[in-house]
Amino acid sequence: MFPPDFAWGAGTSAYQIEGGWQADGKGPSIWDTFSHEKGRVFGEHNGDVACNSYELWEKDLECIQQLGLTHYRLSISWARLLPDGTTQHVNQKGVQYYNKVIDDLLACNVTPIVTLYHFDLPQALQDQGGWKSPDIVTQFDSYARFCFQTFGDRVKLWITINEPYVCAKFGHEDGVHAPGLKEPGIAAYLVGHNMLRAHAMAWHSYSSTYRPKQKGAVSLAVNSDWLEPLNPDCNEDVAATERGLAFTLGWFSWPVFVTGDYPEVMRSAIDSQSKKMGYTGSSRLPSFSKDEPAILGTADFFALNYYTSRKVKAGGGCGKMLCIKSDKDAEEVLDPSWPICGVSWQAVVPLGLRKLLKYIKDTFNNPAVYITENGFSQVGQLQIEDVQRCAFYKDTIMEVGEAIEEDGVDVRGYFAWSLLDNFEWADGFRVRFGLFHVDFSDAKRRRTIYRSGQEYAKIITKYKQ
């Protein structure tokens, strides 16, 4: 059912696990700033210590081995390597830390997949405009080159940017993620645009300078819910669903995999809404310049983060946003047969992943796909015997198997989110996504495997060849 070289992995990200926020010369990131502000994060939690993986990496490695993972996905803290964001000042202690992580993984026969950017911009670059400024494109490219140069002899799988959608929308439209900006209808498109340009520039750098020798692969990780029309016989619902997918999955995947530009429905929806708002001047959705490195073709595989599904009803007004606030023209609704478990936004829909994979195959020209994140949290009363989450992983991985076998989707790997309970952004430590429980009241941050971790280990043993 799963090909012999299938990647069985789990993921984490730097700010969510490392701690050591000021250790050994690390510079501050926007999440340090944001989480230290009052009222931003549940319970005023922050990632100052988190799982303390900066000091306890070896404990993480034990967890990885206990699960029998073939792959481990981590992210690099930009500000730990380059405290002011630029290659003018390299923090050697940071280089040493990631060198050790990578070397230890390889010594244990675990393949690293490394994300360059998982929400934690150096504060110094935010002070110069951050992702809203066009300067970020070359700043990111320099950082990416530095990482390819330093770690690329051993790292062969790279993700440039994790979930540009989340950075753009949650960080710059809703303000619930760092840097906490609320500039509805405009900033998110600009940020998304610069993220695509930065990603593309780094991909071209890799392709021309590093790939010939290093022979690795580079992509960006996009998140998307699976969406389907509430009433499949209603044309408006069907069209609204298509727009919904264009505004999440398509926003970043269509330019990279299909045309080099945004989905047509996205541009027309934004432009017609702009007219209604009396907005004059250039489109709120920027255009790519022909003088810049092409966006089309800048991914060597498709990296998907999937968590949940929604039904779509056209013309609604009060539900969850499908797209950027002022361009909203539909509402998301839940199917009553989908249980909500764990964190409030997560309806548990394993079949949605299979459908989304098929959609990706058909829409983006049958790419190789890595599911770079998928998981299910627990909230409230701690359960080490988390039988619900065991069922979730079993059912979901079965659907991935079906996608491969029945639908012919070229899925190359599956990464559970997350290896460890960690700092769950605005939810702090209240929401637990780990395969291992972490005791945040213990100075040693003791890790204990959940039943779901054992279940995942069993699944891996069963299918690994």
Residues labelled as active-site residues: 373
Separation between Cα atoms, residue 338 and residue 419, nearest integer Å: 26
Q: Is residue 42 close enough to count as binding ligand GBH by CB under 6 A? A: no
Closest CA to 311 of 327, 345, 344, 335: 335
The string of DSSP letters for 284-333 reads SS----TTSPP-TT--SSEEEE---EEEEEET-SSSB-SSSGGG--EEEE
Binding ligand GBH (rule: CB under 6 A), the pick from 151, 433, 436, 450 is: 433
Report cis status (omega within 30 of 0) of the bond before 232.
no
Report the residue number, 13 or 91, with the smaller CB distance to ligand GBH.
13
Is the Cβ–Cβ distance between 150 and 134 less than 8 Å?
Answer: no
Place of tokens 């279940």: 455
Is the Cβ–Cβ distance between 80 and 94 less than 8 Å?
Answer: yes
- What's the min distance (Å) between Cβ of 75 and ligand GBH? 9
Is the Cβ–Cβ distance between 368 and 5 less than 8 Å?
Answer: no
- What's the min distance (Å) between Cβ of 9 and ligand GBH? 14
What phi and psi values does residue 24 have, to the nearest 5 degrees?
Answer: 50, 35
Report the residue number, 325 or 446, with the smaller CB distance to ligand GBH.
325
Report cis status (omega within 30 of 0) of the bond before 133.
no
Q: Is residue 415 close enough to count as binding ligand GBH by CB under 6 A? A: no
**Residue 417 falls in which region: left (phi positive, over 0), alpha (psi -120 to 50) or beta:** beta
Of 159-167, 230-238, 293-301, 362-370: span binding ligand GBH (CB under 6 A): 159-167
Of 158-166, 207-215, 286-294, 348-356: span binding ligand GBH (CB under 6 A): 158-166
Binding ligand GBH (rule: CB under 6 A), the pick from 2, 7, 13, 71 is: 13
- What's the min distance (Å) between Cβ of 73 and ligand GBH? 10
Residues β-bridged to residue 228 = 311
Binding ligand GBH (rule: CB under 6 A), the pick from 332, 373, 421, 455 is: 373
Taking CB under 6 A as the criterion, which residues in 216-275 touch ligand GBH? Answer: 223
Separation between Cα atoms, residue 420 and residue 354, nearest integer Å: 25
Q: Is residue 35 close enough to count as binding ligand GBH by CB under 6 A? A: no
- What's the min distance (Å) between Cβ of 375 and ligand GBH? 7
Q: Is residue 429 close enough to count as binding ligand GBH by CB under 6 A? A: no
Binding ligand GBH (rule: CB under 6 A), the pick from 18, 421, 424, 455 is: 424
Q: Is residue 146 close enough to count as binding ligand GBH by CB under 6 A? A: no
Query: Count residues contacting ligand GBH (CB under 6 A)?
Result: 13
Separation between Cα atoms, residue 46 and residue 35, nearest integer Å: 5
Distance of CA 411 to the CA centre of its chain: 17
Of 98-106, 160-168, 251-259, 273-281: span binding ligand GBH (CB under 6 A): 160-168
Taking CB under 6 A as the criterion, which residues in 71-130 touch ligand GBH? Answer: none
Could you list the residues that contact ligand GBH (CB under 6 A)? 13, 162-163, 166, 223, 305, 307, 320, 345, 373, 417, 424, 433
